[in-house]
Chains A and B, each alone.
Chain A
Amino acid sequence: GEEVAQTPKHLVRGEGQKAKLYCAPIKGHSYVFWYQQVLKNEFKFLISFQNENVFDETGMPKERFSAKCLPNSPCSLEIQATKLEDSAVYFCASSQLRVYEQYFGPGTRLTVT
């Protein structure tokens, strides 16, 4: 598609439950990035992919977070055993090249209660 698509728009989970977020990058873009926005203004890089391969996962809290980009499927970000501090908006972005303009989806707002 012409835009980055993210689903769902909103997700509410009780503490300890699993959360799974999805992202469909712009067609033809090889790179996918996930960012977390907390407290309205703080963005944190989580992970990036080149096609289905993890490119950089230095921002991921690995004990509970995992992500995949499989061929012919939306990319996914999964949080096992959510914590209150995981409440945030999760943005997905895609790019044609490794160093180039990143285009962002509308985000998924995760609320952990």
Chain B
Amino acid sequence: GIQVEQSPPDLILQEGANSTLRCNFSDSVNNLQWFHQNPWGQLINLFYIPSGTKQNGRLSATTVATERYSLLYISSSQTTDSGVYFCAVDSNYQLIWGAGTKLIIKP
């Protein structure tokens, strides 16, 4: 089945820093979503981005479907950005998840 790999697994940054999170997938996909799971366990939809580039405030994402990767950019990090960021791809109409990137933003 399809493999989803996220990097880096862990990231510790100072408030105000920028970061780039990567998601590689091993086969063609119908859909790709980025989520933020906050420290209370809530899953927050960030982007639905099977291809192209989207921006929402300090966050933006780019998916290059032909090269099988997606990038999530976080600018001017805030402590509330802490948590785990997941990439999930739709393969055969079910989401296959990466292992996540754990992000810690220090004040």
List chain A positions with a Cβ less than 8 A from chain B. Answer: 33, 35, 40-43, 45, 48, 55-56, 58-59, 89, 91, 93, 98-104, 106-107, 109
Contact = CB atoms under 8 A, between A and B. Distances in A.
A43 B33 CA distance: 14
Contacts of B96: 45
Interface in B8-42: 30-31, 33, 35, 41-42
Contacts of A41: 84, 99-100
Contacts, number: 50
Contacts of A100: 31, 48
B42 A55 contact: no
**Most A Cβ at <10 Å: residue of B30, B31, B93:** B93
* Closest A-B pairs by Cβ, 6 of them: A101-B48, A43-B97, A45-B94, A104-B43, A99-B30, A41-B100
Nearest to B6: A41
B53 interface: no
Nearest to A99: B30
A101 B95 contact: no
Given A43-B88, A99-B30, A35 B45 contact: no
B45 A55 contact: no
A33 B33 contact: no
Given A43-B88, A45-B94, A109-B41, 17 more contacts: A33-B95, A40-B84, A42-B99, A48-B93, A48-B94, A59-B94, A89-B41, A99-B30, A99-B31, A100-B48, A101-B33, A101-B45, A102-B95, A103-B45, A106-B41, A106-B42, A107-B41
26 contacts: A35-B95, A40-B84, A41-B84, A41-B99, A43-B95, A45-B96, A48-B94, A56-B92, A56-B93, A91-B43, A99-B30, A99-B31, A99-B93, A101-B31, A101-B33, A101-B45, A101-B48, A102-B33, A103-B45, A104-B35, A104-B43, A104-B45, A106-B41, A107-B41, A107-B43, A109-B41
